Amino acid sequence: MKRTAEIVLGIIGTVVYALSAAMGGFVIWLQNNPDFLEEITAQARADSPQMEIPDAQTLIDSLGSDGVVLLVASIIAVVAGIVAMILLKGNNRPKTAGIIFIATAVILPFIPGAPGIFVGIFYVIAGILALARKPKQDIATI
């Protein structure tokens, strides 16, 4: 049985989690480059003076450690997705792959600062498909 739908959904979910990891890396980069953030806030203040824009240090403080958590959680999700897709390839262990997909999508949103539930929706659908689809039985084997 081909597992094309599960693999495609897994790839889409992995790409979405990789984008989350890139966003976490960007947040970490912003925390380490306050001069750049100060320049952006100054430019934003000049472009729209009627809007209240916080200073760069306030933005850095509000980011906290969310960038690191977002980066680490997203990398874990990407690795888990790749492992699950490898298990799906060739229809070797679809049940294990489905459990990995669902566990990753259910556990990660509970980590503060990690990607939300909407990011893992592709993993949930792929996991349900991997668990629910049964291989066709050959009439000759019955």
Give this prediction's pTM: 0.77
The angle at the Cα of 66, spanning 64 to 69, to the nearest 5 degrees, equals 135
pLDDT, tens digit, 9 for 90 and up, residues 53-70: 666 566 666 666 678 888
Which residue in 12, 41, 4, 6 sits closest to 132, CA to CA? 6
Amino acid 77: pLDDT: 92
Question: Which tens digits make up the pLDDT trace of 60-101?
Answer: 666 666 788 888 889 999 999 999 999 988 778 889 999 999
Residue 54 makes CB contacts below 8 A (sequence gap 6+) with 41, 62
How confident is the model over 3-38, as pLDDT tens digits? Answer: 888 889 999 999 999 998 898 888 888 888 778 777
* pLDDT interval class at 136 (50, 70, 90): low
